[in-house]
Amino acid sequence: MHVYQYTMRDTRTVTVLSVMATVLVLGTVACIAINPSTATGLVPILAAVALIIKAIVGGGNTTDPDASPEDVTSVPWQTSDGPAVCGGDVGAPGAAEEADREDAQRCHDSGPECRAGTDAGSVIGVDDAVASPEGVEDMLRRDVFTAGSAALFRVPVLDALLSSPAAPGDISSPSQLGMAHVAEIRTTTEQMRTAARSQGGQASAVCAVAAAYSRLTQVPASESVAVRLGSQLADLHNLAGWCCFDSGLERHARWHYRAAFDLASQVGDDYQLSDALLFAGVIDAARGRPDDALKLYQLARMKLGPQGDPEQVAWLHAVSAHALAQMGHDQADDQLARARDGWQPPNIYHRADMDYQTALVQHELGRLDIAEHFAGAVNGAGLHRPVGIFARILRATVHVQAGESRGTDLARQAIDAVAGLRSVRARERLTPLVAALDARPGNEARELAVYARRVAAVPA
User: pLDDT of 389-423, one tens digit each?
Assistant: 899 999 999 999 888 888 899 999 999 999 888 88
Neighbours of 88 (CB within 10 A): 19
Where helices occur in 111-222 by DSSP H, the ranges are: 116-121, 133-153, 179-199, 203-214
pLDDT tens-digit readout, 163-202? 555 566 666 677 788 899 999 999 999 999 988 888 888 8
The reported pLDDT for the residue numbered 282 is 94
Cα–Cα distance, 207 to 256 (Å, whole number): 9
Most confident of the following: 21-25, 79-83, 268-272: 268-272
Neighbours of 444 (CB within 10 A): 15
pLDDT at 448 over 70: yes
Among residues 56, 58, 60, the alpha carbon closest in space to that of 25 is found at: 56
Cα–Cα distance, 395 to 407 (Å, whole number): 9
- Answer whether 0.75 is exceeded by the pTM: no
β-strand 161-162 against 123-124: which pairing, if any?
Answer: parallel
The reported pLDDT for the residue numbered 243 is 93
The reported pLDDT for the residue numbered 5 is 38
- What is the pLDDT of the chain when averaged over all its residues? 76
Q: Are 110 and 162 in contact (CB under 8 A)?
A: no
Task: Set out the domains of the chain in order of their start, with CATH numbers.
Answer: 11-162 (no CATH), 345-460 (1.25.40)
The reported pLDDT for the residue numbered 427 is 92
Residue 266: exposed, middle, or buried by beta-carbon count in 10 A (0-12, 13-18, 19+)? middle
Cα–Cα distance, 137 to 458 (Å, whole number): 44
Cα–Cα distance, 229 to 226 (Å, whole number): 5
The reported pLDDT for the residue numbered 167 is 61
Helical axes 39-57 vs 133-153, angle rounded to 10°: 150
In percent, the amount of the chain with pLDDT more than 70 equals 61
Residue 205 pLDDT grade (very low, low, confident, very high; cuts 50, 70, 90): very high
Neighbours of 163 (CB within 10 A): 12
pLDDT at 388 over 90: no
Among residues 299, 302, 301, the alpha carbon closest in space to that of 317 is found at: 301
* Residue 29: HSE in the Cβ half-sphere, 13 Å Cα cutoff: 11
pLDDT at 360 over 90: yes
Cα–Cα distance, 44 to 41 (Å, whole number): 6
pLDDT at 63 over 70: no
pLDDT tens-digit readout, 322-350? 999 999 988 999 999 999 887 888 888 88
pLDDT at 246 over 70: yes
pLDDT at 232 over 50: yes
